[in-house]
Amino acid sequence: MKNPQSTIYQTNHKINWFQKFLLVCSGGNIHILRKTPSEWNKFAGIGGIVLFTAVFATLSAAYAMYTIFDDIWASIGFGILWGLMIFNLDRYIVSSIKKTGTWWNQILMSIPRLILATFLGIIISKPLELKIFEKEVNKQLNTIIQRNKTDLQKQMNGRILQQSGPFETEKKQISEKTAQYQKSYDSAAVELEKEILGKQTNLTSGKEGFGPNAKRKQELKEQRRQDLENYQKQVAPRLDYLDKEISKVYTNLETERKSTETFEDKFNGFAARLQALDELGKNSAIIATAAAFIMGLFICLEISPVLVKLISSVGPYDYLLEKTENDFRLYSKEKIEKGNALTDFRIDDFKDKLKP
């Protein structure tokens, strides 16, 4: 006699290739789903969400890698690899939720999966946010680059003062001492002129003409001129050395500044764009709100398969899945018990043979 229960799972419906593909994407057991056509739409919907999440993850990762390597083929390859990983991970998250347990157990099982799905949604959304706000991000990047160059110039000026400071101080001391010699010479020249012209001062005789006092002042002027020239000759090599050292400091730091500015001009990688997007959000409430909505959209997209599985009622698929797993557990337990019994029998038989 034919088992009446076997007719429950019979169906004339056939799964087309697209439905089958979406059911595979959902992480459901195809063999069980074939017996439960009432569940096809639900699982196809879950599979579609998983599929589109993987597509967005592929685009997101490809764009992120393109900003890093600037190589379209490497970006496409990594994007596909990342999308497949997200696809497989989402399938596992959805398929691991069992509907036949208590509501509290389902909630406990879903919490870590929801947290993981939220984290994945944030990861997927960020590169796409950068692409959506690309023009604004590029403008902010230019602002950051100019700001960094200004800060760099300030740092370089500070380092120039620090490294050339001792040389500049010594040059200043030499210059001050030279000025003193020059002042002494100029003073002697003025006194000589006053003496010759007969101008009365505390240091002149007041007699016009080149007399004995004028002669002494002429000798004093000549002596101070020689002192000035001798000092200038003495410090000339030292001044040349100080000028070369100061020039070397400027040359080295200027070379370093140009090299650093070259790197600053290339400040457009993924981390730099994230920084620009973050600053845009802080400076503009509209962009911050839009970015939050975009991130929320992808988080909802990522957690929706888990939520759909969680809020949906228990269906034929869940009962059949539980029955299949339970049958396998009973079968495994029975095989283990038979194996243990056979082993015990062999051990007892071996002990009987050892008895005298």
Give the 3-state secondary structure of the chain.
CCCHHHHHHCCCCCCCHHHHHHHHHCCCCHHHHCCCHHHHHHHHHHHHHHHHHHHHHHHHHHHHHHHHHCCHHHHHHHHHHHHHHHHHHHHHHHHCCCCCCCHHHHHHHHHHHHHHHHHHHHHHHHHHHHHHCHHHHHHHHHHHHHHHHHHHHHHHHHHHHHHHHHHHHHHHHHHHHHHHHHHHHHHHHHHHHHHHHCCCCCCCCCCCCCCHHHHHHHHHHHHHHHHHHHHHHHHHHHHHHHHHHHHHHHHHHHHHHHHHHHHHHCCCCHHHHHHHHHHHHHHCHHHHHHHHHHHHHHHHHHHHHHHHHHHCCCCHHHHHHHHHHHHHHHHHHHHHHHHHHHHHHHHHHHHHHHCC
Task: Give residue 105's domain range.
Answer: 14-132+285-323
pLDDT number for residue 311: 80
Does residue 182 belong to any structural domain of this protein? no
| Domain count of the fold of the chain | 1
Sequence-distant (≥ 6) Cβ neighbours of residue 191 within 8 angstroms: 201, 203, 204, 217, 220, 221
DSSP H helices in 96-133: 103-132
The span from the CA of 169 to the CA of 177, in Å, is 12
pLDDT number for residue 199: 67
Query: The dihedral of CA 99, 101, 103, 105: what is its sign?
Result: negative
pLDDT number for residue 9: 47
- pTM exceeds 0.85: no
Does residue 31 belong to any structural domain of this protein? yes
The span from the CA of 270 to the CA of 241, in Å, is 47
If you search the block for the tokens 């071996």, which residue do you land on?
Answer: 350
The span from the CA of 283 to the CA of 139, in Å, is 13
Does residue 155 belong to any structural domain of this protein? no
Q: Which amino acid is at 128?
A: L
Which among 6, 8, 77, 62 is positioned nearest to 38, based on CA atoms? Answer: 8
pLDDT number for residue 77: 92
Nearest 5°: phi and psi at 102?
-70, 160
Per residue in 277-325, pLDDT tens?
A: 888 888 888 888 988 888 888 888 878 888 877 787 788 888 888 888 8
Sequence-distant (≥ 6) Cβ neighbours of residue 290 within 8 angstroms: 133
Q: Which two tokens stand for residue 112?
A: 């870590």
Does residue 111 belong to any structural domain of this protein? yes
The span from the CA of 232 to the CA of 230, in Å, is 5
Does residue 27 belong to any structural domain of this protein? yes
pLDDT number for residue 6: 44
Report residues of the chain scoring pLDDT below 70. 1-13, 101, 195, 197-211, 261-268, 348-356
Q: Which two tokens stand for residue 29?
A: 């057991």
Does residue 263 belong to any structural domain of this protein? no
pLDDT number for residue 198: 64
If you search the block for the tokens 């909505």, which residue do you land on?
Answer: 293
